[in-house]
Amino acid sequence: RKEVEQDPGPFNVPEGATVAFNCTYSNSASQSFFWYRQDCRKEPKLLMSVYSSGNEDGRFTAQLNRASQYISLLIRDSKLSDSATYLCVVRGAGKSTFGDGTTLTVKP
């Protein structure tokens, strides 16, 4: 079993749709959690950190459930520019582990 698993995707949604991604992790000692966005042939860029209390940044909402060991990302009112691969990242013991990513395509 992989340390970090994400929804397989791809997700193809129309503009304005709401889409949610889930990610599960196996190491209960993991300390911090992030969502990164990676555009084709580019490096990953931090989208947002994920906190137990849940956090929101504009159209993006991230949540962490430590008991069930999963994190989620919700994108509301999706835009064409949201098309990318979204990587779930779990960090612990000084090391970051990446999920395989979920590809989102937003269509007009």
Partner 1 sequence: GAVVSQHPSWVICKSGTSVKIECRSLDFQATTMFWYRQFPKQSLMLMATSNEGSKATYEQGVEKDKFLINHASLTLSTLTVTSAHPEDSSFYICSAPRIAGGVADTQYFGPGTRLTVL
Contact residue for partner 1 among 41, 53, 81, 108 (CB under 8 A): 41
3-state DSSP assignment of residue 82: helix
> Which residue in 101, 100, 98 sits closest to 86, CA to CA?
101
Give the nearer residue to partner 1 in terms of CB position, either 22 or 97: 97
- Residue 62: beta bridge partners? 55, 73
Contact residue for partner 1 among 46, 52, 54, 66 (CB under 8 A): 46
Whole-number Å distance between alpha carbons of 82 and 65: 25
Give the nearer residue to partner 1 in terms of CB position, either 17 or 55: 55
Residues near partner 1 (CB under 8 A) are 34, 41-46, 87, 89, 91, 94-101
